[in-house]
Structures are given as structure tokens and as C-alpha cells.
Amino acid sequence: MTESGEVSKLDEYIRNASQTINGLLERVFDASQTDVTAEAARYSLIAGGKRIRPILLLLTGDLLEAERESLMPFACAIEMIHTYSLIHDDLPCMDDDTLRRGRPTCHVRYSEATALLAGDALLNGAYELILEQCSRSTPGAMRAGIYIAECAGIKGMIGGQSEDIATNCIHITTDRLYSIHRKKTGALIHASIMVPFVYLCEPGDKEEVRLALESFSGHLGLSFQIKDDLLDASSTSEQMGKTVGKDEADGKATFVTVFGYEEAERLFHAEALETYRALDSLANMGYDTALLVALTQKLHEREK
């Protein structure tokens, strides 16, 4: 369990980091751009997401004593890729959702065509940030950029979404359910945690640390998704700021629709336990994990 001092340190860290992240995102899609697609991208990006992925990236960077400024473009790029994925996921051709981050979804507020373009613009903007950093930085920046592209692409998030669409029923194997969510939700969380390591370390360096971070990120991706499924089954749309209960109504495979609520809760606790084990092993190597432990706990106890 984290001490209350760690909780308030984390809250302050999140406040400061979110300010910096939001400042950079505001500059990328600034309000002076009058084009409707830029306005729609900004509408979704500045709509009050929790900024979990960039904060995880910055905290892991601090743990490894990386220079924060050189990681900022990657942190913001991942948030832009995440936001594009939510816009596209909400489209009528995918989940057909009307509420996101407490507001009408991008295609409801604008139009389907504009929402599609807004997602594309966010994705391109993300790679602009990454490539700018690559052009002025070390080989580590290139390694980090390639890592993000792989995690966001067909071997990662897009691949998971594709598998999910192809498996539109609750009669699937456990292996396939885990595979979908390791990629669809897990890959970007994994990238957020691994980017500082990949940025700093050559292949083959600090294998023990890499394995511990991979274990932490893998289990956190799954615990985050199972928690999302539990909240979807037990909360209201007002609490969550997005439509809830739709997965069950649509016959989608989630941890709750496949295993039932109680078993999903058990699976959640099993994944959560492994996140703390991985963080313990990093602490045993001498790393200061206090804020990452506090954030992990906050994610596991979240109400939205």
C-alpha cells in the first residue's frame, strides 16, 4: 500500500505533468487553426482525457533518470495516437458511440468525414513530433519512434482492433481474448512504459530492467482493460463520461461478458498483483518506484 505522502506527491506530479503535456498539445493543435478538421482534432484532444499514457512515460523516464525534455515529444505523440484511436473507435463503422470524455463524440459533434480526418491528422501530427525529435537527437530517439510505430500498428493496437472486429461474439477462447486486449489496449500502455528504456538503452543493455518493465507494462495493460470492463458493467454513463453497457448489448467479447463479473474481478486482481511484483523487482534493483506504485494503485482503484 502507498503512504498518503506518496499519494499527494503523485497528485502534484500529475497536475504539473498534465500542465506541461496540455501546453505542448495546445501548441500542436492551437486554436488559431480555423480548418474544421484541426478544430475537431483539438475538440477531442483537449477534452479532458486522464493523460495516463504520457504520465506513465514521464514517470518511467524519471525512474530511469532520463532527461524529461527529450521524452516530451514521445509522451505527447502517444497521447495523440491514443486520441485518434478513440475517435476512430467511436465511428459508426466501429463501435458507433455518441459519448466520449463526457462530451458528444467527434463524429456526432462534427461529421463522420471530419472525425475520420481528425483522427488521421492526430496520427500524422504524432509522427511529426516524433520525427522532429529524431532529426535533432540521438539514435535512441529513432529507436523510440520505431517502437511506438510498431506498438500502434498492425502488430499492436491496430492489429488488436482488427482481431476484435473479426471476433464479434462472446464465444471465443481465453487465449484470443487475452491476445486482443494485450494488443488493442495493452500495446500503447506498453509503449508508454518502454519508450524511456528504449530511448536510453542499446539492444541487449540492462536485460533485467527490460524484463521487469515488460512484465509491469504487460500486466498493467491487462489490469487496466479488465478494470475498464468491470467499470463498464457497474457504472453509469454519467460517471464514466462514455456510453456504458454497450459491449454486452452488442454481444462483444469482454472479460465480463466472457467470464462473468466475479471471475473478471478475480482475473483483475491476479493481473494487478503481477504489476506490483514487477515494481518490487525494480525496487530491489535500487530504482525509486514510489510514484509508479502510487499511480498503479490509483489506476486500479479508479472509478472512471
Least Å distance between CB 85 and ligand GRG?
Answer: 4
Q: Which three cell numbers stand for residue 230?
A: 468491470
Long-range contacts, 19-24 (Cβ 8 Å, 24+): 20/72, 21/51, 21/54, 21/55, 21/72, 21/75, 21/76, 21/79, 22/46, 22/51, 24/72, 24/73, 24/76
In whole angstroms, how close is the CB of 209 to ligand GRG at the nearest point? 25
Least distance from ligand GRG to the Cβ atom of residue 78, Å:
11
- Taking the complex as a whole, how short is the minimal distance between the CB of residue 226 and ligand GRG, in angstroms? 10
Q: How far apart are CA 104 and CA 112, in angstroms?
A: 13
Phi/psi at 93 (nearest 5 deg)? -75, -10
| Cα-based distances in Å from 95 to 85, 180, 266, 292 | 12, 16, 27, 32
DSSP string across 54-117: HHHHHHHHHHTT--HHHHHHHHHHHHHHHHHHHHHHHSTTTT--SEETTEE-HHHHS-HHHHHH
Binding segment (CB under 6 A) for ligand GRG, from list 79-87, 126-134, 139-147, 202-210: 79-87
What is the size of the binding site for ligand GRG (CB under 6 A)?
A: 16
Interaction pattern, residues 157-196, with ligand GRG; x per rule: CB under 6 A: xx--x----------------------xx-----------
- Which residues are within 8 A (CB) of 270 and not within 5 positions of it... i.e. 6 or more apart? none
Contact pattern from residue 26 through residue 65 relative to ligand GRG, giving x for each residue in contact according to CB under 6 A and a dash for the rest? -----------------------xx-x-------------
Task: Find the shortest distance in angstroms from Cβ 20 to ligand GRG.
Answer: 17
Cα(14)–Cα(73) distance, rounded to whole angstroms? 17
Residue nearer to ligand GRG on the CB measure, 52 or 209: 52
Shortest spacing between CB 290 and ligand GRG, in angstroms = 22
**Site pattern 80..119 for ligand GRG (x: CB under 6 A):** --x--xx-xx-----------x------------------
Site string for ligand GRG, 206-225 (x = CB under 6 A): -------------------x
> Between the CA of residue 298 and those of 124, 291, 302, what are the distances in Å?
31, 10, 6
What is the CB neighbour count within 10 angstroms for residue 217? Answer: 24
Nearest approach, Cβ of 54 to ligand GRG (angstroms)?
10
* Contact flag: residue 300 with ligand GRG (CB under 6 A): no
The smaller minimum CB distance to ligand GRG, of residues 88 and 143, is found at 88
Binding site for ligand GRG (CB under 6 A): 49-50, 52, 82, 85-86, 88-89, 101, 157-158, 161, 184-185, 225, 228
